[in-house]
Amino acid sequence: MNIDWIEIPGGTCLFGDESRPVTVPTLLWTRTPITQAHLGDGPSRNYPVTGVDHPTADHVARRLGGRLPRSVEWEWMASGAERRVWPWGNAPWGPELANLRDSGFEGTTDVAAHPEGATPDGMLDVAGNVWEWTASSTMGDGFVIRGGSYASPPLYAWCTFLNSAPAELRSLGIGFRVVREP
């Protein structure tokens, strides 16, 4: 179980479409969503783990020595201090940048399949492939998910776009990444 961690310095995230200032701590992030290789199972070893509900994702994150990120932390990691529109910058989406709807794939891909879409810090698969569970709850029994999936239109992969899903949902389009204190 070899996990590649990237340190993302903290700062003030101008959160959401309203640009509300929120302080975010320095965190270590898994470079990619958690894969089958990280957990030591599955035939598609570098594909994201999917089909896990929020409680399971939270449990696995803790087992790996971290936690799920808060929605504001995810946005800070994705957009940076410069408030990029997309994780890779402000250039519009193209199929070489992220696995989104109309990219030519019918499902998830290897988490390293789109290196051109990496953040300046080297974070991979932040946009597309799978939505990512966060620790931020919503009204009812849901949680915020970020990043879009292989079935999402490009707009859903904007750094400020957020969605929600019921905590018990087990979807082939939702995975997760882990953060921890440095």
Q: How far apart are CA 71 and CA 162, in angstroms?
A: 8
Q: What is the pLDDT of residues 27-45, one digit of tens each?
A: 999 999 999 899 887 666 8
Using pLDDT thresholds of 50, 70 and 90, give the confidence band for residue 105. Answer: confident
Confidence of residue 106 (pLDDT cuts 50, 70, 90): confident
Asked if residue 177 has pLDDT above 60, the reply is: yes
Report all structural domains of the chain as residue ranges with CATH numbers, in order of start: 5-180 (3.90.1580.10)
Q: CA torsion sign, 49 to 55 to 58 to 59?
A: negative
Q: Which is nearest to 73 in space by CA: 173, 146, 127?
A: 146
